[in-house]
Amino acid sequence: SVASEREHGIALLTEAIKLAPDKAILYALRAKALAHNDMLQRALLDFSMAIRLEPAVAKHYGSRGDCFARLERWTDALGDYTEAMRHDKDSGRYVFDRARVVMVLSKGSYVWCGMES
């Protein structure tokens, strides 16, 4: 099943992280797999580690912002999308995602479609 394949992927990434704990991409990939399995709190930890290791990579902030949005932690999502925009001035994705969060914060409701990067 897809879920068991993702769990296997998470296990493999965990082993890879043990071998190369300084590789942000491994944390980011495991975070994506965790998020796809609705393990959002664990995904947040891995995205945060990816950010700690590569603080100038917009995609890490955008992906963590997606997790925050799925958890309806709008202020945190806003901060991450803003930071992603700062690191990738050419991407309209972060502008759009940030605008959606601003709309939620100003009106109090929005159907979040959970777009993944």
Convert the pLDDT of each residue in 1-60 to its tens digit: 777 888 899 999 999 999 999 999 999 999 999 999 999 999 999 999 999 999 999 999
What are the extents of the domains in the chain?
A: 2-107
Convert the pLDDT of each residue in 50-107 to its tens digit: 999 999 999 999 999 999 999 999 999 999 999 999 999 998 999 999 999 999 998 8
Specify the pTM. Answer: 0.88
116 φ, ψ to 5°?
-105, 145
Rounded CA separation 112/101 (Å):
9
CATH tag for 2-107 (out of 3.30.200.20, 3.40.50.300, 3.90.870.30, 1.25.40.10): 1.25.40.10
Contact 44, 64 (CB under 8 A): yes
